[in-house]
Amino acid sequence: MSQTVQMGRSIRKTILLFGILICAFVLMGQKSAYIWTDEKGVPHIGDQKPQGSENAQEMKYEPSPQKDEAEKDDSFYKSQQKEKAKEIEEFEKSQKQAEVEQKKEEYEKLKAEEERFLRLRDGAVNPFAYNYAIQQLNEIEKQKSKFQDLDGSEQNTQGKSEQ
């Protein structure tokens, strides 16, 4: 083999070992390690300085931000999430309330229209007016089926107030 190929392999081994060294620091919680090359040119990594090896280099590892700082950041993030969730919940609640109010208004208009056609039916002087009123009342009954939940809740509240 040529000398260039051997040197390339040696560099790759060293880089690989250095990567393993960093991972070992993180996993073991070590703050320092040693890297050295033996007589055969093979690189080694260890947490203790080898005896008899003068070319060992100490590699120091400094941990990233303190745990307290990370916890503070985490608690701040969680509080921000809670605030946003509360805002979203309040917004959704107001949207639902607005929808209910709108449905109630539509229902009240429908009831007023129903009363108008009931009066027309009851006071009809000719069959055309009577049939028209019946036809409109049937349409209103179909539309009222959309509001059954509102109608039921109104009947419940009216029934309670009468008792």
Of 60, 86, 103, the one marking the end of a domain is: 60
- Asked whether residue 157 is domain-assigned, the answer is no
- Asked whether residue 77 is domain-assigned, the answer is yes
Which pLDDT value is given to residue 21? 65
89-130 tens-digit pLDDT: 999 999 999 998 998 999 999 999 999 999 988 988 888 989
- Asked whether residue 156 is domain-assigned, the answer is no
Higher pLDDT among residues 17 and 151, named by residue: 17
54 and 80, same structural domain?
A: no
129 and 55, same structural domain?
A: no
- Asked whether residue 162 is domain-assigned, the answer is no
Which pLDDT value is given to residue 95? 93
Which pLDDT value is given to residue 92? 93
88 and 30, same structural domain?
A: no
The whole-angstrom separation of Cα 40 and Cα 36 is: 11
140 and 101, same structural domain?
A: yes
Which pLDDT value is given to residue 139? 93
- Asked whether residue 161 is domain-assigned, the answer is no
Helix (H, G, I), strand (E, B) or coil at 32: strand
pLDDT at 163 over 50: no
The whole-angstrom separation of Cα 12 and Cα 15 is: 5
53 and 79, same structural domain?
A: no
50 and 9, same structural domain?
A: yes
114 and 44, same structural domain?
A: no
Confidence of residue 136 (pLDDT cuts 50, 70, 90): very high
18 and 79, same structural domain?
A: no
41-95 tens-digit pLDDT: 777 777 777 777 677 777 776 655 555 566 667 788 888 889 999 999 999 999 9
The residue segments making up the domain with residue 47 are 3-60
Contacts for 52-58 with beta carbons within 8 Å, 24 or more apart? 58/32, 58/33, 58/34
DSSP state of 61: -
77 and 134, same structural domain?
A: yes
- Asked whether residue 26 is domain-assigned, the answer is yes
For the ranges 18-22, 60-64, 68-72, 139-143, the maximum mean pLDDT occurs at 139-143
If one counts the domains in the chain, the total is 2
